[in-house]
Chains A and B, each alone.
Chain A
């Protein structure tokens, strides 16, 4: 396929969303790393200058991604997966430690983060495995292999330590659901999460009573013809209560104080104002400052380069994980809702694109892309606006960082290439 054909068939709407997000992202990185002394935006000693360079590099990588044969990605997905796993393993020997996490290779001019490559590779490998004619996700064995593809990189990344990045891989479970994994698993996971949160907030007794009430309500409203699965329901109830008890045990005996503090901050468990103040100064400092920064923006924001908390560096890591708080302070509710809207539109557009694929591999990969972008977007903004606990992962296309930007760009544009190629007959 020639280059002009790709340009005709590529989904320009997605490209537009991508460019908007990257552009807005850079403006905010500029604002949060800007200081009065330097003026040129091409100053590569400054973080915003570097990011500009990475944006250029990403544009180049887009050309490369689009220029390669579409079939290349399916054919080489297994090899890519293996290479990236080796790179992750290699970190244990050759890794460079930044901010306590051994997640980088030092390539001189920049630091490469192999977990970003692993995200692309795992999404590809998952697509390859599930699209195989032999694979039947309804079978236990195939479910197991599906999980394994996710688990290997996650297990390699956790000890870096980078639990945030590891968590991202679990988002690929959504792909399994799309491809036929029974929703029962999702139900179990949701229930477990609910029980976990409810136990911390209200205690085991209330959880038990609540569940029993729900089941009673369910029995009352049931249709006469419906045969009640008494035994499974009871099993679920007992399992939930046991789980709830174990949550209490784990929370109090296995978790460290800092973990407990994070949860008590997140779930607003702490009512003592003195301890709350203490948490705000230590574990909750970032969240507190970023919430305050966003709040102080109001509806219209303080204006470009006018964010006082941004200028005063009140929010640590503001140009990376907390970049959204700059949007909040300087552009206000107007800015933040536009960014949220852009992400929502981009993701919905990708769902639409994935669903229109004739080819299983393309569709599954598309879902992989969506899952990975979604979890980043959800956890990052959720954390910055204080509705999720602190988990350090970047905001796609937005946060400062070369590997991240390159990784997300390649991840997205491989899918756009596959989409542009969907009408072609190929192997």
Chain B
């Protein structure tokens, strides 16, 4: 016993040590420790963010230098506080408070004392800076906008939040990232890659040279410049026209799917979200819950498409052989669903496809819609076919464009109605409103524009996209350069396009023709409701317009959706026609029309539901 006592103890100790060491070094060990290691500090070198240009090479977004006044509290010597505060443009109490905050954060590490001085303040301060020990100026770059337009498309820069940090290990606290729009979508391209330098620290947090001789260090990678598909002039002009109006406009080049303009009203100057006033301005925009300037109506506002949807119903009916272009329906200044009469503004009489479209006859399309469903033994089958055709135009689902926000719209399927009415307890009469684009269908302006492009192309479209070039190279993303075909044969488009062209020639938009340009379009007047004190109240109709031009070689297809703008050709029709003229001709010949659109606002309409008083809708004041 006494002979083996010591040996046993020795072995027991050895086993205990090995056990503890394997716990520490094998089980507790986590390999990814370079950044968690308190002995190593990473210093970052941020590259300049990439510039953003429009399709013609005009600058949209660049960078501007900004200057932060930094402080290392431990190194601050007594100073002439009054003079320094004057230079910084803050008062003494504030200065003392900022200094205390910096000291609490760390006496040894630099903190930002005053962020983002203007160039003028910087020039003043720079001369005297050497007098103030412990303070220095750090340069960094801020976004600079060479336009007041396109805020909704461009997005903004913000500080990363907890979610970003969790989702993407690239970021560290306090770094910047794109928020919404192109800045968010193409963050990685624009941002480049920060360079990193690992510094070996001792336990007093002093640098003692590069870690591992710098072999892990990387150089910053410049952010790439990109060109958008936007036409800066068109975008800016569109936003001018949108002044005082709510709604969305999207213009697309049908032959490529490139988004020429994407306008949301009301909007804001992108420069508001840069610099020292950023958070104040952001709160102001964020809390404007009535006009919602941060809400991108061009891609996120789902609304009934209205009469432009009739063109699609016509195409479906032709494709399914439900009608021929010559098929006629009689309009009784309306049509009957059972015993109820639904109205029509076309003037009544016999309608065929052509006049049905250009006069926008509700009765004609109600009849056409019924014919589609009559082709099938059950309503369910009819609904499936109808849904398939509609969705082939990019409706009822996310389009796949390269912007981070948006809504899918709605093309209801049979399940949708089964839920409402019960299995097999509904028929085409129940859903007749879909024939004229009211009812349950919903689409965003970008979907309407895309649908228009598909009609302009006579049967196919390219997924709308906003990115044109990266570092001067055209993009080759298959999603955006390969056409998507609708389920409608090419031959069926001609009569519909003819009808849409006649909308301008002799139909609902004959007052907004452009001399020398042949346009095809379709007006829409969308009834809409709101709740005032929980009473369903009708508001002035939305004014909707889709158009493409020139008819035979379309260069632009657009959708204009103006909330409470009354009938289709009034606001939306005017704006569409001005935008087409601007884009195709470069200048506006109809100055009076332009003047009226620039001056007229719809603020009085938007004020009505909030006035607390009785109000009239659809007033014919012009």
A contacts, CB < 8 Å to B:
35-36, 174, 177-178, 180, 183, 289, 291, 294-299, 306, 308-309, 311-314, 328, 332-333, 336-337, 340-341, 343-344, 347-348, 351, 355, 367, 370-371, 374, 377-378, 381-382, 385-387
Contacts and interface: CB of A to CB of B under 8 A. Distances in A.
A337 B7 contact: no
A17 to B, nearest CB: 13
A377 B37 CA distance: 29
Interface string B5-21: 11101110110111011
Given A294-B21, A308-B211, A348 B33 contact: no
Interface stretch (B100-108, B198-206, B533-541): B198-206
Given A340-B21, A374-B9, A385-B21, A296 B14 contact: no
A39 to B, nearest CB: 15
Contacts of A297: 25, 29
A308 B37 contact: yes
A397 B2 CA distance: 28
A299 to B, nearest CB: 6
Size category, B interface: 35 or more
B169 interface: no
Contacts of B377: none
A386 B20 CA distance: 9
B1 A294 contact: no
A190 to B, nearest CB: 11
Interface of B: 1-3, 5-7, 9-11, 13-14, 16-18, 20-22, 24-26, 28-29, 31, 33, 37-40, 200-203, 208-209, 211-212
Nearest to A333: B25
A314 B40 CA distance: 11
Nearest to A343: B14
B6 A174 contact: yes
Contact of A328 (B6, B14, B21, B37): B21
Given A294-B25, A299-B26, A314-B203, A381 B17 contact: yes
A378 B13 contact: yes
Contacts of B25: 294-295, 297-299, 328, 332-333, 336
Nearest to B16: A387
A185 to B, nearest CB: 12
The main secondary structure of chain A at its interface with chain B is: helix
B561 to A, nearest CB: 56
B538 to A, nearest CB: 61
B39 A308 contact: yes
Contacts of A385: 17, 20-21, 24
A295 B9 contact: no
Contacts of A371: 6
A340 B29 CA distance: 19
Contacts of B18: 337, 340
A374 B28 contact: no
A180 B2 CA distance: 8
Scoring B18, B21, B200, B202 by chain A CB atoms within 10 A of each residue's CB, the highest score goes to B21
A333 B21 CA distance: 7
A312 B24 contact: no
A294 B29 CA distance: 9
B6 A178 contact: yes
B200 A177 contact: no
Nearest to B40: A308
B24 A344 contact: no
A333 B18 CA distance: 9
A387 B39 contact: no
Contact of B202 (A36, A312, A328): A312
B39 A311 contact: yes
B7 A348 contact: yes
Contacts of A343: 14
11 contacts: A174-B6, A177-B2, A180-B2, A308-B39, A309-B39, A312-B208, A333-B21, A340-B17, A344-B14, A348-B10, A351-B7
Given A297-B25, A311-B208, A344-B11, 14 more contacts: A294-B24, A294-B25, A299-B25, A312-B201, A333-B22, A333-B25, A337-B21, A347-B10, A348-B11, A367-B6, A374-B10, A378-B13, A385-B17, A385-B24
B24 A291 contact: yes
Given A296-B29, A355-B3, A312 B209 contact: no
Contacts of B10: 344, 347-348, 351, 374
A418 B5 CA distance: 23
Given A295-B28, A306-B212, A385-B24, A313 B202 contact: yes
Contacts of A341: 14
Contacts of B11: 344, 348
Scoring A180, A295, A333 by chain B CB atoms within 10 A of each residue's CB, the highest score goes to A295
Nearest to A291: B24
Nearest to A354: B6
Nearest to B38: A314
Nearest to A337: B18
A314 B39 contact: yes
B21 A296 contact: no
A181 to B, nearest CB: 9
A171 B344 CA distance: 108
A183 B2 CA distance: 8
B17 A296 contact: no
A298 B20 CA distance: 13
Contacts of B38: 309, 314
Contacts of B211: 308
Contacts of A311: 39, 200, 202, 208
A227 to B, nearest CB: 22
Nearest to B29: A298
Closest 9 CB pairs of A and B: A308-B39, A312-B39, A344-B14, A333-B25, A298-B29, A312-B202, A347-B10, A295-B24, A314-B203
Nearest to B36: A296
A200 to B, nearest CB: 20
A377 B16 CA distance: 13
A387 B20 contact: yes
Contacts of A382: 17
Nearest to A297: B25
Contacts of B209: 36
A240 B200 CA distance: 53
Scoring B2, B24, B201, B203 by chain A CB atoms within 10 A of each residue's CB, the highest score goes to B24
Given A333-B25, A348-B7, A309 B20 contact: no
A347 B9 CA distance: 10
B162 to A, nearest CB: 21
Contact of A351 (B6, B16, B21, B22): B6
A126 B523 CA distance: 113
Nearest to A303: B212
A355 B3 CA distance: 8
Nearest to A315: B203
Contacts of A291: 24
Contact of A340 (B14, B33, B201, B202): B14
Nearest to B205: A312
A382 to B, nearest CB: 8
